[in-house]
Amino acid sequence: MLAAQRWFIPLNLHPLVYGTSAYLLGIWWQATQDICPFILTLISLIVLSCCSDRRIFPTIALVFVGAYTLGALRLYHQQQTLDALYKKTDNRHYRGSGIITDIARHHHTFFKYRIAINLTTLTDIKTNELFTPPTATSIQVYVHDMHDIRVDDTICINDLHVKKPHAHEQKRYALRSWVIATLFGTSSSLEVLHRPTLSYARWIFDQREKLWNTLRTQLAPATRNLVGSIFLGNKAESSATKPSIISRFAVWGISHHLARSGLHLVIFVILWHVLLRMVPMPNRYRHLIIILLAMVYYLLSWPSLSFNRACLAFLLYKICTFQQIKIDAMHTIAWVTLFFLITTPAHLLCLDFQLSFGLTSILAWFNHTRTHYFMRQHHKSIATS
């Protein structure tokens, strides 16, 4: 009998779960250069050698070591790329061009809008040297009003001053978001170079704004703030929520319900399931309709880290269900975590990612352990009867 069976801790997990854990440890080690992640990796391998089947332990160990190395190298690559960018742009003035990716309302008395711009080219004003920054490089511009600027416009910024951050938190934020500069000014300082005739991103943005403007006119201010922050993820409305409402939620310890998360997606999915069960149709069509409804809900609301995690996990689970592929919660969380950390490994260094993914992984682990424990007890009862 394995040690795991004596301790009632079944470790019969998919190798992807072990690989994801090792990938996290590799990123942690590269970020801190501390010996603790390395020691924890050795302890994990020792525990796995004791609790796992000896026939599959070499495969698990190989996956563990390989994923650990890949995690460290992925974060190292992003660190070197960002350092090279700041080395080239630090304390210099540029003329930049980029594409507007988002326009959001900002809860401020003067700077009422925040414009996100993905930079495509930078031109040194003194030397007239032109270079292309990394793909994800972006800036934020806070303005008072919006004149003739729309999403997906290609704009020009005549004077862009880039400074390398020195505070640890600022470096972490830049590594995660790739926002290299934040400007405060007016929309007249942004020159529109090109506006595409047809734009999918602009159409989605306009539909979302139309939906929200319709809701704003139909709802009372307090209700509007709660609906906008909880069900649509509008951060401007979340900031405008009355302190009295926030304090009441804090008294009962449910302030986290004011932030949109995967729970609210689950509420909608349950309602859709209940309604679609009343309609006679094959299960495959029912799953397909729910996937389409979830995609529409995602596109017409404001994204956040926890909501993106829930949507990606839901989409993966539904696709596997649609294709009749067996998948459990631990497997789903491992895939979603890998997706986020491969694209942006610096997510692991931030508290919101740690809380969102950590708590979800723990709940999935408890459910996995409980399910397999009762399954083994059931098999034992059948064998003895």
pLDDT tens per residue across span 46-71: 666 666 666 766 777 788 888 889 99
pLDDT at 9 over 50: no
Please enumerate in sequence order all residues whose Cβ is within 8 A of that of 79, keeping only pairs 6 or more positions apart, or say none: 30, 175
pLDDT at 234 over 90: no
Radius of gyration of the chain (CA): 25
Q: How far apart are the first and last CA of the chain?
A: 21
**Closest to 196 (Cα-Cα) out of 249, 244, 131, 152:** 152
The beta-carbon contacts of 289-294 under 8 Å, at least 24 apart in sequence, are 290/318, 291/315, 291/318, 291/319, 291/322, 293/268, 294/265, 294/268, 294/269, 294/318
Average pLDDT, the chain: 82
β strands within 112-252, DSSP E: 113-124, 130-131, 138-143, 154-162, 179-185, 190-194
Distance CA 63, CA 58 (A): 9
pLDDT tens per residue across span 203-218: 999 999 898 888 888 8
pLDDT at 11 over 60: no
pLDDT at 1 over 70: no
pLDDT at 12: 60
Q: pLDDT band for position 10 (50/70/90)?
A: very low
pLDDT at 237 over 80: no
Distance CA 2, CA 174 (A): 46
Domain boundaries, the chain: 3-83, 90-198, 205-364
HSE-up of residue 311 (Cα within 13 Å, Cβ side) = 19
Its pTM stands at: 0.81
Q: pLDDT band for position 127 (50/70/90)?
A: confident
Q: What are phi and psi of 143, to 5 degrees?
A: -130, 165
Cβ-based neighbour number of residue 136 at 10 Å: 15
pLDDT at 202: 93
- Was domain 90-198 assigned CATH 2.40.128? no
pLDDT tens per residue across span 350-370: 888 888 888 888 888 887 777
pLDDT at 73 over 90: yes
pLDDT at 242: 61
pLDDT at 51: 60
Among 161-165, 221-225, 279-283, the least confident range: 221-225
Cβ distance 233 to 302 under 8 Å?
yes
Distance CA 282, CA 151 (A): 40
pLDDT tens per residue across span 95-117: 889 999 998 887 777 888 889 99
